[in-house]
Amino acid sequence: MAGLRIDSEQEPLLGDTPGNREWDILETEEHYKSRWRSIRILYLTMFLSSVGFSIVIMSIWPYLQKIDQTADASFLGWVIASYSLGQMVASPIFGFWSNYRPRKEPLIVSIFISVAANCLYAYVHIPASHNKYYMLIARGLVGFGAASTDEVQVPQENIDQVAVVAINVLFFVILFIFALFETIITPLTMDMYAWTQEQAVLYDGIILAALGIEAVVILLGVKLLSRKIGERAILLGGLIVVWVGFFILLPWGNQFPKIQWEDLHNNSIPNTTFGEIIIGLWKSPMEDHNERPTGCPIEQAWCLYTPVIHLAQFLTSVVLIGIGYPVCNLMSYTLYSKILGPKPQGVYMGWLTASGSGARILGPVFISQVYAHWGPRWAFCLVCGIVVLTIILLGVVYKRLIAFSVRYGRIQE
């Protein structure tokens, strides 16, 4: 009986694979209800996980600055990338584990690691030094605990491998772009609009919440539109919208951001009168010495010659990226699943997950390094170039991105 229970736990939830006890027979009402109960629990789990991730991602940069003054924008990229690195390392481990043992075991272990890692993240301010490295470790462990427990199964034959590789590349770029966007949004708004840490967390959180609502509406519309024009055309349109969004984000004009001169002032001897000194001494106990200066740091040389990104310009770009990203993300998954066909897709889905994790590792590192050294103009120009190359790739493989059933003549496209 124990062996049967373990076998049952290791079967796919949808119960549609050869060797399954319910293969080639009608699904019972009880099995149908059980299956959808499990799916709804997964929906809730993913929703809560995404809410937690969104809350943390907006506060990482201010939190990092507060706990360790030596941390810069370049290190921020490594902190954010560590999450996906941990996820990419853990995914195959949990995948193989769930293949040979009940799913409960890797699931319970991953939840335990996530709870412990988040507790570590909450208290990284306590050590006397090296706080930024403790944060790096904590985020890596959070990603390790968040790893998927998808099964790894035997891949099917007769699949267009060129189409599979192309979708993996497209998916990598799509995740890469959004990962760098969510990484840079907080430092960018603090530099461009002289927002405080509290303002950046609040306003950027509101922006991401609005993007979430926008994505829900867009995805509902895409479901209807895909029946008329197809997934490939929608994917192409989504990439074009993303390109327009980043192009609008390029700095233009002759207005420059407010410069953060605080460090220079601290190293200079001000020419003040005796009365001003007394007034300063009287006010100093009442001032919040933990409040950091605002504006674009003078250490970033590009602040002196790069025009400001106007708020209307930024918000327009955010809206367009918020339209393009969910469309591209959904269409990539849809096309990939159709290309693979009706048989088990575990291994190929594992490749797609690894591709996305790699993108979320490289995206934050790329944007933080380029932004810190060369500024938003170079950063967003390079992103625009990457999107153009991706659109060209999609055009080259456009005719190959067809469903498995269409390729082998089971149905007409």
Domains identified in the chain, total number? 2
Helix (H, G, I), strand (E, B) or coil at 379: helix
Asked whether residue 113 is assigned to any structural domain, the reply reads yes
Helix (H, G, I), strand (E, B) or coil at 142: helix
Q: Whole-angstrom Cα distance, residue 58 to residue 355? A: 24
Give Cα 45 to chain centroid, integer Å.
17
Based on the fold, state whether residues 184 and 145 are members of the same structural domain.
no
Asked whether residue 211 is assigned to any structural domain, the reply reads yes
Based on the fold, state whether residues 391 and 248 are members of the same structural domain.
yes
The pLDDT of residue 156: 52
- Pairing of β 259-260 and β 296-297: parallel
Asked whether residue 381 is assigned to any structural domain, the reply reads yes
- Which run of H or of E encompasses 316? helix 311-340
**What residues does 190 pair with on adjacent strands?**
none
pLDDT along the chain (413 residues), means of 10: 42 41 56 79 76 75 84 81 81 71 76 86 87 89 70 56 91 92 89 89 88 88 85 94 95 87 46 43 43 81 91 94 92 88 69 82 88 92 96 93 73 51
Based on the fold, state whether residues 249 and 333 are members of the same structural domain.
yes
Q: Whole-angstrom Cα distance, residue 18 to residue 152? A: 15
**What residues does 296 pair with on adjacent strands?**
259
- Which run of H or of E encompasses 373? helix 346-397
The pLDDT of residue 237: 94
Asked whether residue 42 is assigned to any structural domain, the reply reads no
Asked whether residue 268 is assigned to any structural domain, the reply reads no
Q: Is the distance from CB of 113 to CB of 141 less than 8 angstroms?
A: yes
Q: Is the distance from CB of 294 to CB of 196 less than 8 angstroms?
A: yes
The pLDDT of residue 277: 38
Helix (H, G, I), strand (E, B) or coil at 376: helix
Based on the fold, state whether residues 182 and 132 are members of the same structural domain.
no
Buried/exposed code over 84-109 (b: 16+ C-beta within 10 A; e: otherwise): bbbbbebbbebbebbbeebbeebeeb
Based on the fold, state whether residues 210 and 338 are members of the same structural domain.
yes
Based on the fold, state whether residues 146 and 165 are members of the same structural domain.
no
Helix (H, G, I), strand (E, B) or coil at 297: strand
Based on the fold, state whether residues 300 and 407 are members of the same structural domain.
yes
Give me the CATH number covering residue 393: 1.20.1250.20
Does pTM top 0.75 for this prediction?
Answer: no
Based on the fold, state whether residues 90 and 236 are members of the same structural domain.
no
Based on the fold, state whether residues 125 and 223 are members of the same structural domain.
no
Give the closest residue to 171 by CA, choosing from 371, 359, 320, 366.
359
Instruction: Quote the domain boundaries for residue 55.
Output: 47-151
Give the closest residue to 302 by CA, choosing from 262, 256, 265.
256
Asked whether residue 73 is assigned to any structural domain, the reply reads yes
Based on the fold, state whether residues 198 and 229 are members of the same structural domain.
yes
Q: Which are the contacts of 84, defined by CB distance < 8 A and separation ≥ 6?
A: 143, 179, 357, 358, 359, 360, 361
Helix (H, G, I), strand (E, B) or coil at 46: helix
Give the closest residue to 321 by CA, choosing from 201, 188, 143.
188
Based on the fold, state whether residues 255 and 364 are members of the same structural domain.
yes
Q: Is the distance from CB of 364 to CB of 139 less than 8 angstroms?
A: no
Based on the fold, state whether residues 175 and 54 are members of the same structural domain.
no
Asked whether residue 192 is assigned to any structural domain, the reply reads yes
